[in-house]
Structure 1
Amino acid sequence: MTEKYKDEPSGISRRHFVKVTSALAATPLFFSTSAGARDTGPTTDEEAAPDKERVVPTCSTFDCGGKCDIRAHVAGGVVTRITTRPDNELDEEMPIMRACVRGRSYRKFVYHPERLKYPMKRVGKRGEGKFERISWEEATTLIADNLKRITAQYGPASRYVHVGTAVSGGAFSGDKMVRRLLNLTGGYLESYHSVSMGNTAAATPYTYGTAASGSSLDTLSDTPLVILWGHNTTETIFGHSNHYFQQMKQNGTRFIVVDPRYSDTASSLADQWIPLRPATDNALMDAMMYVIISENLHDKAFIDRYTMGFDEASMPEGVPPNESLWAYLMGAKDGIKKTPEWAEPITQVPAQTIHQLARDYATTKPAALIQGWGPQRHNCGERTARGATLLATLTGNVGVKGGWAAGYGGIGNRKFTTGPEMPDNPVVEKISVMNWVQAADDASKVTPQDGLKGGEKLNSNIRILFSLAGNYLANQNPDVNQSVKVLEDESKIEFIVASDLYLTPSARYADLLLPETSFMERWNIGETWGTGNYLILSEKLIDPPFEARSDYDWLREVAAKLGIEQEFSLGRDEKQWIEQIWEATRLSMPDEKLPTFEALQIQRRHLFKSKPYVAFEDNIRDPENHPFATPSGKIEIFSKRLYDMHHPEIPALSHYVPAHEGPEDPLAAKYPLQLITWKGKNRANSTQYANPWLQEVQVQKLWINPLDAEKRGIKQGDKVRIHNDRGISMVPAEVTPRIIPGVVAMQAGAWWQPDADGVDRGGCANVLSSSRITALAKGNSHQTMLVEVAKA
């Protein structure tokens, strides 16, 4: 550590860390949610006696939608236990998430003997996981020297910052600040596309003109019917859905869950479970629309006033006949009516069920069809996302209280902090996050047709890569075996910097491995998802162990060695950055009456209590003065923009097209089972995989239907071999009717654990998933994969 920062704590001692972990082991797993959960006023160390317990409302900054209100009990510099918001603080108008199983286990994640302790550099082959301890002085010098060398040799476009979701739930993070550093020194190669819901975000504007198409959940309080289409909120803790959905359930709302898997959401909410084959969603949607139109259940007045493309009379100019929705459904062009009987063999949903689902949705006023993010992570996901918008439009459920316009996400009244000031990036080219392997392997492979924006070609391969609080390099990336081949080739990416709490599969590929701080060891502001309209102060509660340092702390040293420390830091320490972000946010949202930062440190959180928000309400109420942001100013059932692309996988009218590696792909003869993944209750993506308490919550297994298991001689608990041309994974089998025949399922986010033969022993589905990009968004299609399963 440089002299400049000598007054900052360098970490707790080994003896103190052992004391902490010993205390942790002696503490029960769960605690009462009410006893001791209290605010104690100002919570700075200076105001608290050294051994007096203080209870601090705080939150994590993981990529998790809840932003649970957890209460950290701190005494003697140690978080001794975690409680959550007590019953007497509940507010029906503004529900703050109480800690789920993930939130209640944070201590075991923070106080863990396998946390990284010192900066280390690689000494073996890349990927072997062999490192030696070095000083922070050497570590920051290595980063500065490699930045100078690689930038001088290849230019700033050779620099790349990967996805880091373990910190993306906060206003301030290392991955944001390394981008600031790179922008101040020439720029870097940016990426676009959200792996979570980027396909929906790209497709929805072709119907409505914007991706911000979600309403606030409090507008559904009197909705008699909700269809959750691939939306597993009970396990994912998706924003504040569970609070509202359970409240609605008690008030009599009927829930229908459409999902290939009988999820915990189906178990806890569904009055009806409708299982369907993955990647056939559009066939089910097409058949529902056929029923609605052929039985005269569509909202004619709504369609006539607000839409374009429903029938031949409402088509844009320059389009030949029989391209409208009505023409497609009635088979005017291909001779095939899109009836439930047509859809049944494709979807495996009985025609009678399709008739009933369509009638229920069309005749219940209002009704909300809410699509989750799983269905749009298929290579047909853009069509599926847009198909939901067509159903909402046909039934007049757009812009009305109790209806729902599209998939879950893009809430129009969402509140964000401003984040740190970010200088402009001089590098204009951008790649999809799905292009990074190709950009590292051979930049000439990345073309505008494949996802390049801002130019016709890249000027350099990726030569230096930062992965801060991310596990995407060799775990969350699709086709892991393909990506690690590029990572292992040291003639490709020349220098990889990773910072993390643990030696993750991705961290094993670092040239320089740095011990990060947990959210309990730094300052931040927690941001909620969806309609959770509040911000929570995430205070530094304890000193980091050993030599762990926040990313911002060591980035300041790198900036100093590049000669731009003052320009980079603006003289602010971490807490001062948080204060600046808060005050800038306060000024940008005067109507919300945010408290000062000083006051925030006392009250801990700010509730917006915004009015209920209905997406597109103004467009429907007053279309003349509030047209939709489409070229026509209307809801575009048929998109002329998509039509002019002339791409068979991007139909102007969203409808069923057999998916690559879907059930109709000839590859199904070799690999007859569709593998899907789900986001489980015990981790956010792969974050907290190393938490032993959470490994007990849900064991990594392959769900397989009894019919498929019997064909393969597989019994409950047998070790099975899941394989395709991309990889092999081995886990125990869970033989269960909760997954439909022809489909198998594994929880996403398990750590990749290859043996000497390259066979994954950890249940990492990404050794099997495809790197194929979607046609429109140039996004991910993790969920579309064909496999075979055999008893090991």
Structure 2
Amino acid sequence: MDFKDETTLSRRTFVKGSLAGLALAGAAGSAALYGCAPAEEKQQSGGDAPVEETDQIVWGQCFVNCGSNCALRYHVRDGKILYLETDNTGDPENTQMRACLRGRSRRRWINSPDRLTHPMKRTGKRGEDKFEQISWDEAIETISSELKRIIDTYGNEAIFIAPGSGVSGSIVQSAHQRLFNMLGGCVTRYGDYSTGCIQGVMPYMFGKKFSPYDNVHASSMTEALNSDLVIMFGNSPAETRMGGGNIVFDYTKVKENGARIIHIDPRMNETCSGTLDEWIPIRTGTDAALVSAIAHELIANDQIDLDFLHTYCVGYDEETMPESAKGQNKSYYDYIMGTGYDMIEKTPEWAAPITQIPADRIRTLASDIAGAKALFVAQGWGPQRHSNGESATRAICMIPLLTGQIGLPGTNTGQREAEVGSIAGSPTIGGIPSGDNPVTVKIPNYEWVEVIDRGEKMTATNAGIRGADKLSTGFKFVWGFAGNSFTNQHGDINHGHDILADESKCEFIVMTETVLTDSAKYADILLPDVMAAEQFTIGTNGYTEWYRGVRVGGPAQEAPGECRKAYDVQADIADKFGIKDQFTEGRSSEDWVEFLYKQTADKNSDMPSWEEILEQGVWKQEVEPVIGLKDFRDDPVKNALETPSGKIEIYSEELAEIADTWELDEGDVISPIPIFDPGREGYGAVTDEYPLYCSGFHHKARAHSSFGFIDVLKQAARNQMWMNPADAESRGIENGDLCSVKSPRGEIRIEAKVTSRIVPGTVSIPQGAWHDADMYGDRIDHGGCSNTLTMSHPTPLAKATPAHSCIVQVAKA
């Protein structure tokens, strides 16, 4: 079924009085607070009485990395955005990609007095926030000459595009890579901050085609409608995927349908508190210990599906072990039952002090799992963002494997729910073609700051370098675009500052931004970007559950000052190198939008024509739900996985070889089977100086750090550290107190939220708050950014972020 907007792109009559219902209830009593109808217009209209006004309606989209990419409808008058609403096309009960409060506040970002409006160059130290305005001619000339100098001096492996997702889903992201490829290439990255451990380790279990962003290795959340028991490990879509284009709506249907839902999480998260059957509090980072004890109970009580394990899996017991590991007690069964590896039987009594879950409750949970007719297990991406995340993500998948609850109606593979609309037939518009990259070297996403510091020492076996045995140089030229990962979104900000501030290491930094983020303070040249609402753009669905679609529209208003589109800036630099015609192919950014849409529509007959999409602005198409690994379950020979055995590999010979051949730091563990490894600053790491564990969570007021400076959002959802009353009372801390939180790496100031909704012994700090410290002074972060506290040391295999493994002390400030 297709959905079209019955209104035109340019004009419609709109009754403003109907806007009152668009803002969520309780938001200070005013829809205008979040960017909807302005209060002054309501007063002019005589209170709530509707007044007909003729406005231009311009389709837009919320291009940030929350996953939803929800639709926005800008109401424009006299060339300015007056207010905005969200998607009102299709069936309001099922098929509207309606924006959350963040998306509805976007007008406050677009028209913020903090917008960058002129190109600038640094005049002080990096990170010191001292700049002076320059002309675009000087900016382009400086960037081009520095780029040429660095390529000539160090080669193209010294060039890097830093991670950034502030325009997630927009075509302009690929323009930078296109330019650098034409100039000889640059080092690229694999993995990402969100799913680094999953991407790094799950292909060894489910095969090389595995992706955390697909609809093959996981089931739709709607499939849980056919389940009688749903278990969520650290999975809170109400906080992480709350837009109308995402799965939180389908999750609520599951609850209404009668499935029993159990949340296993250090916090009673927002999803759990809204639809609670049961919350099982767990010490952060110990999910694999809980799973091991559940596995013990299932095995001891003969409640496993042995036929499934012998048919579809490698490594469960001696019978299914590969020849290279037979007769050595290396199976998963041996690990659980205490006959191999550490020779410790993984009983509930063993797991209880580790997890803080009573042994009897673990037994009851195992019994519930064994008795489920259709078991749906889904983990969020938080459990794998620990220093032991590579073992944790595989361990959680063992529950459906042991019970044979994979590939059947109402089941899931243990991974996060599928992103149905983003793969498999989706009209993925993509970006401007980047062409071939002559540089084949890739680095782990999380290691890019370390490459600046010690690139020449990083190898395939000590740092996960791909495409070469070692790096030839560190990064000397870095371009950051729409990202706050220089400091704010990267572990150990103080360590990162020391590297970035040293101009002998990275010799030139360019940042393209809309406002002065903490990362932008490290730019040598700072460029003011044009926002999506200020240009003609195209976007597709995000991590969607129920639809695939396209949105075309803009601009809603002119960009302020001297802001310029990133594509035009790249074209000017290409011109300095004599390749502008090759770079643009004679197309403006607007021309690329039309070209890319038509190219995709030619392959998707269901899509509207170019003229039709211009008229209607948005197109959506429902997609069918999926069952993870159904084809493999139906025929494991015909649909063999891309593992060496073609089966699900509980024991991986490849991982065993990596563990034997890689250079690992003391305390780093790579295991061929899913085990419980405490990890760095995990269970058992607390000290008298740092007696509390600290984990993070995604915050409703931000998408990572995007929207982090919007005052009304900060008021609606305060940046607070969650702390159990038992931990607070012993420190004389009350709800709302300003606290000092210290880790071995830094110190922050943050308000306390004293609540029994978090397990004792662990505090939890929302990620993404804007770092605010005098980096040439005491370095105390008054912004409450969790990455001031976290470590930079990566996980052993994927070399990914360990952001949720951290030990701290908390005191009243």
Aligned: 1:230 with 2:234: yes
Contact 1:325–1:637 at 8 Å: present in 2 too?
yes
The correspondence of residues 676-691 of structure 1 with structure 2, limited to 5 A, is: 676-691=695-710
Question: In structure 2, how many angstroms separate the alpha carbons of the residues matched to 1:530 and 1:351?
Answer: 38
Aligned: 1:417 with 2:429: yes
Contact 1:266–1:273 at 8 Å: present in 2 too?
yes
Contact 1:96–1:532 at 8 Å: present in 2 too?
no
Q: Which residue of 2 aligns with 1:663?
A: 683
- CA offsets per residue over residues 735-782 of structure 1, 9 Å max, x none? 111111110111100111113311111101111101111111111111
Deviation at 1:291, TM superposition (A): 1.1
Aligned: 1:542 with 2:557: yes
Judging changes above 3 Å, is the alpha-carbon distance between structure 1 residues 240 and 300 closer, same or farther for their aligned structure 2 residues? same
1:524 to 530, 535, 538: 538
Question: In structure 2, how many angstroms separate the alpha carbons of the residues matched to 1:790 and 1:639?
Answer: 45
Deviation at 1:27, TM superposition (A): 8.2
Aligned: 1:288 with 2:303: no
Q: Which residue of 2 aligns with 1:717?
A: 736
Contact 1:60–1:538 at 8 Å: present in 2 too?
no
Aligned: 1:620 with 2:641: no
Deviation at 1:480, TM superposition (A): 0.5
Deviation at 1:249, TM superposition (A): 1.1
Aligned: 1:426 with 2:425: no
TM-score normalized with structure 2 length? 0.88
SS state of the match for residue 442, structure 1?
helix
Deviation at 1:583, TM superposition (A): 2.3
In structure 1, stretches of 5+ residues that fail to align are: 1-25, 34-50
Contact 2:748–2:782 at 8 Å: present in 1 too?
yes
Q: Which residue of 1 aligns with 2:19?
A: none
1:766 to 787, 794, 799: 787
Question: In structure 2, how many angstroms separate the alpha carbons of the residues matched to 1:608 and 1:207?
Answer: 33
SS state of the match for residue 322, structure 2?
coil
Contact 1:519–1:538 at 8 Å: present in 2 too?
no
Aligned: 1:637 with 2:650: yes
Moved more, 196-205 or 762-771: 196-205
Q: Which residue of 2 aligns with 1:17?
A: none
Deviation at 1:713, TM superposition (A): 1.8
The correspondence of residues 189-200 of structure 1 with structure 2, limited to 5 A, is: 189-200=187-198
The amino acid of 1:729's aligned partner reads I
2:332 to 310, 325, 336: 325
Question: In structure 1, how many angstroms separate the alpha carbons of the residues matched to 2:284 and 2:320?
Answer: 33
- CA offsets per residue over residues 134-188 of structure 1, 9 Å max, x none? 1111111111111111111111111110011101233x02x42111100001111
SS state of the match for residue 226, structure 2?
coil
Q: Which residue of 2 aligns with 1:368?
A: 376
Question: In structure 2, how many angstroms separate the alpha carbons of the residues matched to 1:654 and 1:234?
Answer: 29
SS state of the match for residue 273, structure 1?
strand
Q: Which residue of 2 aligns with 1:754?
A: 773
- CA offsets per residue over residues 264-292 of structure 1, 9 Å max, x none? 11111221001111111100000111111
The correspondence of residues 708-747 of structure 1 with structure 2, limited to 5 A, is: 708-747=727-766
2:364 to 356, 367, 376: 356
Q: Which residue of 2 aligns with 1:70?
A: 72
Q: Which residue of 1 aligns with 2:50?
A: none
SS state of the match for residue 573, structure 2?
helix
The amino acid of 1:442's aligned partner reads R
Contact 2:36–2:104 at 8 Å: present in 1 too?
no
The correspondence of residues 437-456 of structure 1 with structure 2, limited to 5 A, is: 437-448=449-460, 449-456=462-469
Contact 1:161–1:467 at 8 Å: present in 2 too?
yes
SS state of the match for residue 668, structure 1?
coil
Judging changes above 3 Å, is the alpha-carbon distance between structure 1 residues 752 and 313 closer, same or farther for their aligned structure 2 residues? same
Question: In structure 1, how many angstroms separate the alpha carbons of the residues matched to 2:287 and 2:545?
Answer: 27
Deviation at 1:530, TM superposition (A): 4.0
- CA offsets per residue over residues 64-107 of structure 1, 9 Å max, x none? 21122322212211111122234873253xx3321211111111
Q: Which residue of 2 aligns with 1:316?
A: 322
Contact 1:525–1:578 at 8 Å: present in 2 too?
no
Aligned: 1:216 with 2:230: no
Question: In structure 2, how many angstroms separate the alpha carbons of the residues matched to 1:602 and 1:578?
Answer: 15
SS state of the match for residue 129, structure 2?
coil
Contact 1:214–1:408 at 8 Å: present in 2 too?
yes
Judging changes above 3 Å, is the alpha-carbon distance between structure 1 residues 371 and 478 closer, same or farther for their aligned structure 2 residues? same
Contact 2:738–2:751 at 8 Å: present in 1 too?
yes
Q: Which residue of 1 aligns with 2:670?
A: 650
2:201 to 200, 203, 211: 203
The correspondence of residues 486-635 of structure 1 with structure 2, limited to 5 A, is: 486-522=499-535, 523-540=537-554, 541-587=556-602, 589-590=603-604, 593-635=606-648
Contact 1:661–1:668 at 8 Å: present in 2 too?
no
Deviation at 1:538, TM superposition (A): 4.4
Question: In structure 1, how many angstroms separate the alpha carbons of the residues matched to 2:459 and 2:637?
Answer: 41
Contact 1:200–1:376 at 8 Å: present in 2 too?
yes
Deviation at 1:349, TM superposition (A): 0.7
The amino acid of 1:131's aligned partner reads F
Deviation at 1:345, TM superposition (A): 0.5
The amino acid of 1:660's aligned partner reads R
Deviation at 1:595, TM superposition (A): 2.2
The amino acid of 1:148's aligned partner reads K
Contact 2:546–2:624 at 8 Å: present in 1 too?
no
The amino acid of 1:529's aligned partner reads Y
SS state of the match for residue 443, structure 1?
helix
The amino acid of 1:163's aligned partner reads P
Question: In structure 1, how many angstroms separate the alpha carbons of the residues matched to 2:339 and 2:646?
Answer: 27
Q: Which residue of 1 aligns with 2:471?
A: 458
Contact 1:717–1:733 at 8 Å: present in 2 too?
yes
SS state of the match for residue 703, structure 1?
strand
The correspondence of residues 5-154 of structure 1 with structure 2, limited to 5 A, is: 28-30=32-34, 52-86=54-88, 89-90=91-92, 92=94, 95-154=95-154
Question: In structure 2, how many angstroms separate the alpha carbons of the residues matched to 1:353 and 1:538?
Answer: 52
Q: Which residue of 1 aligns with 2:354?
A: 346
Judging changes above 3 Å, is the alpha-carbon distance between structure 1 residues 266 and 237 closer, same or farther for their aligned structure 2 residues? same
Judging changes above 3 Å, is the alpha-carbon distance between structure 1 residues 311 and 689 closer, same or farther for their aligned structure 2 residues? same
Contact 1:216–1:530 at 8 Å: present in 2 too?
no
Judging changes above 3 Å, is the alpha-carbon distance between structure 1 residues 569 and 91 closer, same or farther for their aligned structure 2 residues? farther
Question: In structure 1, how many angstroms separate the alpha carbons of the residues matched to 2:473 and 2:89?
Answer: 57
Deviation at 1:458, TM superposition (A): 1.7
Question: In structure 1, how many angstroms separate the alpha carbons of the residues matched to 2:387 and 2:85?
Answer: 42
- CA offsets per residue over residues 505-524 of structure 1, 9 Å max, x none? 00011111111111211213
Q: Which residue of 1 aligns with 2:41?
A: none
Q: Which residue of 1 aligns with 2:21?
A: none
SS state of the match for residue 391, structure 2?
helix
Judging changes above 3 Å, is the alpha-carbon distance between structure 1 residues 260 and 463 closer, same or farther for their aligned structure 2 residues? same
2:805 to 773, 784, 788: 784
- CA offsets per residue over residues 411-459 of structure 1, 9 Å max, x none? 4745332322121111122111222222212222322121211112222
- The share of aligned pairs that are identical, in percent, is 36
Contact 1:367–1:402 at 8 Å: present in 2 too?
yes
Contact 2:221–2:417 at 8 Å: present in 1 too?
no
The amino acid of 1:364's aligned partner reads A
Deviation at 1:527, TM superposition (A): 3.1
Q: Which residue of 1 aligns with 2:304?
A: 298
SS state of the match for residue 323, structure 2?
coil
Deviation at 1:551, TM superposition (A): 0.7
Aligned: 1:245 with 2:278: no
Judging changes above 3 Å, is the alpha-carbon distance between structure 1 residues 201 and 659 closer, same or farther for their aligned structure 2 residues? same
Question: In structure 2, how many angstroms separate the alpha carbons of the residues matched to 1:693 and 1:193?
Answer: 34
The amino acid of 2:725's aligned partner reads P
